[in-house]
């Protein structure tokens, strides 16, 4: 061993001189101390591709640069310069952060063709694509747990280049992760072509969310609000001012919407064609009168249910409803006989074709007779649960309503065999269908009827759950209605 480790000098590792004759090759040694040299040969390929930083304690690997370190402002500027909708949709899949940024970019914030060098053909093509995006062909529906802000953001980004979002229906579940103003803001900024919006059972959506829709979706035509307790007159006012094309309005069980909101809609939305207001305790005569009177030349459908309105509202409908063709009145407990009488004599319902009255104690013989005289073009009459309507009123109405084609009576227990058959014989030559449902006043009677002209126009007769309608009534039907083609009998047990 002494021979092997012989030194030629004080600092020589091998005897007889250095290992390499060429001093340039001495870089193969890594000096870690003055008295000792260690051999460190070169490698053909490094196992670690990243650079290392040598410190006294350890080697530290440098982190690679990432676009995620950029602030939102920089990412926003990058994302808004993406060339098309497909590219934006692809980038939205990267992360929730990118999706949030993309969904908050308004259409007017996207870089226009003038900001980049493009050929005339490319510019023309993209202008045509933008026209397609704004048409609003697509329809989307979210229900239950699927109704979240993240899904709305994805819809806002994804539908822009595929025809544009035209209809959006949200049926919430009122969960902690439900829709908020954040999701509606994404729709408002990404879907300016939206024309139909329906919000059901969304307690977390209030005036701010509805205001976002108003600011971004000026083409809105149909608005349906149901069980949205957080929305007040303020939100409806924002819609009225920013969406003049509104034609259909449905409000149901929104306890904080009152007369002020409806008055704003009546003032700003002059193209309103259909209104349906149900179970809103804060809405009274002022709101209904403002809606009906302001849209008297275009309003064709009126549906009022479970409201605290009085005879005044019916008087306004009877006077200003010049274009109303479909009228539905349900559970109006504060409307009396005078309201129906004034409505019939208002001379404004000349174009009324269909009328449905349900659970209105104010509809009496006098009121129904006035409706028959004031509505000469009435073709369909459906009466449900009218406890004070009797045979006299029904027959008097039939004599006046010469255009009547369809008559349905349900749970009108004061109507007897005399009233029913009397109405058939006096309705004129247009009556084609008649129905009796759960009318306990119908009973077989021995009637000595004089020679009467038969009801030759009646083609369909339906009797359901009327236990008093027996053989005698059926024989009378055969005598008075010789042209019957369809007869239906159904009892509570379900047998025909």
pLDDT one-digit tens code per residue, 141-157: 999 888 888 888 888 87
* Residue 356: per-residue pLDDT: 98
Residue-level pLDDT at 127 = 31
Nearest to 65 by CA among 87, 50, 77, 86: 50
CA distance 355 to 334: 19
* CB 346 within 8 Å of CB 371: no
Question: What confidence tier does 357 reach under pLDDT thresholds 50, 70, 90?
Answer: very high
Confidence of residue 211 (pLDDT cuts 50, 70, 90): very high
- The count of C-alpha atoms lying within 13 angstroms of the C-alpha of 68, restricted to the half-sphere facing its C-beta, is 8
Please report the pLDDT score of residue 363 as a whole number: 96
pLDDT: which is higher, 122 or 441: 441
CA 196 to chain CA centroid, Å, is 6
pLDDT of residue 35: 45
Give the pLDDT of residue 445.
76
Distance of CA 281 to the CA centre of its chain: 22
- pTM value is 0.77
Beta-carbon count within 10 A of 368 CB? 30
Average pLDDT over residues 32-58: 48
pLDDT for the residue numbered 298: 95
**Does the structure show a pLDDT above 70 at 295?**
yes
Name the average pLDDT for the chain. 80
């Amino acid at each position: 061993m002494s021979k092997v480790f012989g030194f030629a000098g004080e600092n020589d590792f091998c005897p007889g001189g250095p290992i390499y004759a060429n001093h340039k090759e001495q870089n193969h040694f890594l000096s870690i101390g003055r008295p000792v040299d260690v051999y460190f040969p070169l490698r053909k390929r490094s196992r670690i591709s990243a650079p290392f930083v040598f410190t006294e304690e350890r080697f530290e690997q440098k982190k690679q640069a990432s676009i995620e370190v950029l602030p939102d402002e920089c990412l926003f500027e990058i994302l808004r310069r993406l060339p098309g909708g497909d590219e934006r949709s692809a980038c939205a899949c990267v992360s929730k952060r990118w999706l949030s940024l993309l969904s908050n970019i308004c259409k007017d914030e996207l870089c226009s063709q003038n900001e980049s060098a493009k050929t005339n053909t490319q510019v023309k093509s993209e202008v045509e694509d933008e026209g397609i995006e704004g048409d609003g062909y697509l329809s989307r529906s979210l229900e239950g747990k699927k109704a979240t802000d993240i899904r709305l953001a994805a819809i806002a980004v994804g539908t822009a280049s595929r025809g544009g979002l035209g209809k959006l229906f949200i049926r919430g579940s009122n969960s902690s992760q439900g829709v908020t103003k954040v999701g509606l803001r994404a729709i408002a900024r990404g879907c300016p072509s939206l024309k139909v919006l329906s919000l059901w059972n969304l307690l977390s959506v209030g005036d701010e969310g509805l205001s976002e829709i108003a600011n971004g979706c000026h083409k809105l035509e149909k608005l349906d609000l149901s069980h949205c307790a957080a929305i007040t007159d303020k939100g409806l006012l924002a819609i009225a001012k920013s969406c003049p094309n509104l034609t259909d309005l449905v409000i149901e069980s929104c306890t904080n919407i009152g007369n002020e909101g409806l008055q704003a809609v009546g003032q700003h939305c002059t193209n309103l064609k259909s209104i349906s207001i149900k179970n809103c305790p804060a809405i009274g005569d002022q709101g209904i009168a403002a809606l009906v009177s302001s849209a008297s030349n275009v309003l064709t459908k009126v549906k009022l249910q479970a409201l605290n309105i009085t005879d005044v509202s019916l008087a306004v409908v009877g006077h200003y409803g010049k274009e109303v063709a479909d009228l539905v009145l349900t559970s109006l407990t504060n409307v009396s006989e005078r309201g129906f009488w004034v409505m019939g004599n208002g001379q404004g319902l000349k174009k009324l074709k269909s009328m449905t009255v349900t659970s209105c104690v104010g509809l009496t013989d006098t009121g129904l007779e006035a409706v028959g005289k004031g509505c000469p073009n009435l073709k369909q009459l459906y009466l449900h649960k009218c406890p004070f309507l009797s045979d006299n009123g029904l027959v008097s109405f039939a004599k006046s309503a010469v255009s009547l084609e369809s008559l349905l009576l349900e749970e009108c227990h004061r109507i007897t065999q005399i009233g029913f058959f009397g109405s058939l014989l006096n309705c004129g030559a247009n009556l084609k269908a008649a129905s009796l449902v759960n009318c306990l006043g119908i009973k077989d009677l021995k009637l000595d009827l004089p020679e009467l002209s038969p009801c030759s126009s009646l083609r369909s007769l339906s009797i359901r759950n009327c236990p008093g309608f027996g053989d005698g009534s059926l024989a009378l039907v055969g005598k008075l209605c010789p042209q019957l083609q369809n007869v239906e009998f159904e009892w509570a047990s379900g047998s025909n």
